[in-house]
Amino acid sequence: MKKHQRISILLTCLLLALPLQTAVTEPLQINAAEALPAGGITTTVSDSRFIDAGWMNQNIILTLDGQVWAMGINMMKDYPVFLSNDLGVPQCILGDTAVLDVFLNAINEQLKAQVFQSDSPIFDTGTGSYIYNSGQTYYQLNANVKNWLITTLQQQFIAGTPQPITLDLTSGYLTSIVNEGVLTYSPDFVLAGSCTTSFSTSSSNRINNIKVAAGHLNNMIIMPGQEVSVSTAILPRTSANGYREAGAYLNGETVMAIGGGICQVSSTVYNAVKNAGLVVLERHPHSMPVHYLPLGLDAAISSGSKDLRFRNNYSAPVILQAYTEGKKLTINVLVWNHDLNGRTFKLWAKNTGSLSAKTYFTTYQDGQEVSTEYVGNSSYMAPKPKKTEAEDE
């Protein structure tokens, strides 16, 4: 990427929130372990009885190739925080992180405009194994950035000396998005996991939503150790991002909602990544059965409450393919065959009733079963009569 020697301060409100250095006072010396009441307390980030007031004068600073983005931590001053002192170990849990989402989304909007021509290899062993992403490319922050910020803030609020929270956006925190170009890879990146689901009875709006969401996942490169949030990757479900109103589940009923149908994408991804041996970190069943997959094999997502998150634990990048053909959605996962080393995987489920199922994960070595793990139980409510013609997710 061309280096931009400039400073980008995102959003006027964030700029105004940066503390003035002349206003910095001597930070309070707080022994949180002694001050916290038994059983813990729910308060706010700016409660100087338990969190050093000096944090209100500090910033979160992200850097990338000479660019700097900053947000005053005082933007979080009224956010709820739970503090506890179990067994003499102070702990902190943030109850709201919406301002971080605004900050990171604003950075992503700027990065989206910084398109560059990429011809460098994403992966190249020098011995014939490679992945090249050639074309008009831009970066987006991935879920690792927010996870790191939340973890660091929680740890530092309760135990650390007030100081800037800084993060250099190295490759593990970025996902490359190709607008126009060709992804090429060596033949030893093989199809390790796949899933195809049908949307033959779906409305045009629901089909549109599936295609939009799949388009954001197609040709995604998942680096070793990288975590992916499907909810984040497919972008907020808004009309500005191309989503339309279609059927979705809400409290056991089918209602109309912007982005209805995207759970078919997350569910199809769930099966494909598990069948490829990737590690699933978060998965939720729907409230009611879905029509496109058996019980126990679906994966619901809902902004702010449910997500499908997975991680690449292999030594090489993984390629995610997502596309529609006819009335079907297909998700493929390509893995370096040296990482597979003769292993294959299968996610499957067994019904334990008309509205419940147990899910299992089997590993094979050279075609022979070596282990079967219990993944979990999924329970569903009986479908209620539809008040509209909307489909479920």
Each residue's pLDDT tens digit, 56-89: 999 999 999 999 999 999 999 999 999 988 777 7
Q: How far is CA 146 from the centre of its chain?
A: 9
For CA atoms 27, 164, 310, 238, give the dihedral sign. Answer: positive
What count of other Cβ atoms lies within 10 Å of the Cβ of residue 233? 22
Cα 85 from Cα 89, distance rounded (Å): 5
CB 383 within 8 A of CB 251: no
**pTM, full prediction:** 0.68
What count of other Cβ atoms lies within 10 Å of the Cβ of residue 182? 10
CB 376 within 8 A of CB 366: no
Sheet (strand 165-168) strand order: 67-72, 59-64, 165-168
| Backbone conformation region of residue 171, classed left if phi is above 0, alpha if psi is from -120 to 50, else beta | alpha
Q: Which residue ranges of the chain lie beneath pLDDT 50? A: 1-33, 387-392
Q: Which residue has the tokens 């949180």?
A: 32
Between the CA of residue 27 and those of 43, 89, 155, 268, 299, what are the distances in Å? 19, 22, 17, 51, 46
pLDDT score recorded for residue 27? 35
| Backbone conformation region of residue 387, classed left if phi is above 0, alpha if psi is from -120 to 50, else beta | alpha
Give the number of residues written for the chain.
Answer: 393
Question: Burial level of 46, CB count in 10 A (0-12/13-18/19+)?
Answer: middle
Cα 229 from Cα 378, distance rounded (Å): 21
What count of other Cβ atoms lies within 10 Å of the Cβ of residue 15? 12
Following DSSP, what letter does each residue of 145-163 receive, concatenated?
HHHHHHHHHHHHHHHSPP-
pLDDT score recorded for residue 390? 35
Task: Write out pLDDT tens, residues 161-186.
Answer: 899 999 999 988 998 777 667 889 99
